[in-house]
Amino acid sequence: MQIQNSVVVVTGASSGIGAATARAFAAAGARVVLAARREERIRALALELGDAIAVRCDVTSQTDISTLATAALDRFGRIDVLVNNAGQGLQATVEQVSVSDFRDVLELNLVAPLAMMQAVLPSMRANGSGAVVNVSSGTTFADVPGTGCYVASKIALERLSAVARNELAGTGVTVSTVIPFATETEFLTSIKAGRSDAEAMTAGASFDDPRVVAEAIVDLVRTGEARKDLVPAAYGGTR
């Protein structure tokens, strides 16, 4: 897909990978719709980017998702790209994890991306083209104790993406997955539970700049490829 003048919706756009992705698309000539709960942040980013709008959106709210899609269509008349970036971590063993916390993480990391896809696909189908990029996690490459519930949500998202890609074959709409490695974001400060354990697990790790992930996302939209991981070969990835 050509990026110039395309309309790109980015969830979780208030910081980290989401904000970097919005900037990367804007730099490539896209018009960007910024979605996040922290409205003041995305409003400031929209002013920085120019041809962009900010829409406060909790992606676990169907009402907010509908409002987001309507705002994008009202302003730009189409939706060409969706980046499902909003998500949250959870660090706890299978024995200790709160089932309520797990449900909340599944709602945000898995159900919300599905609801977002359903909201934008009618516009993409009508235009005969579109791209969805779902953001997974390099934690899916290992069976690290304490990551099971978070990994389960991201593995499920990867499979949902793959099936959706096959279902939409021939429509002009592609669905792709990007799999970042450790990235410098606010992930640990917003983790659902187990922050101290997660910080201990990642202590001393080398973190990627969010712009690395953003460029990978833009590249997936350009090429339409199914999947791109940023995981080092030492951990089973292709990097």
Question: Which residue has tokens 């005969």?
Answer: 128
Helix (H/G/I), strand (E/B), else coil: 215: helix
Is 150 assigned a catalytic role?
A: yes
Which residues are CB-neighbours of 119 under 8 A, at least 6 positions away? 65, 66, 68, 69
Give the chain's radius of gyration (CA, Å): 17
Cβ atoms of residues 32 and 78 within 8 Å: no
Residue of 25, 150, 181, 187 marked catalytic: 150
- Short-list 161, 114, 119, 116, CA closest to 140: 161
Nearest to 177 by CA among 192, 191, 163: 163
Sheet strands side by side (includes 227-229): 52-56, 31-36, 7-11, 81-84, 130-135, 173-179, 227-229
Q: Which residues are catalytic?
A: 150
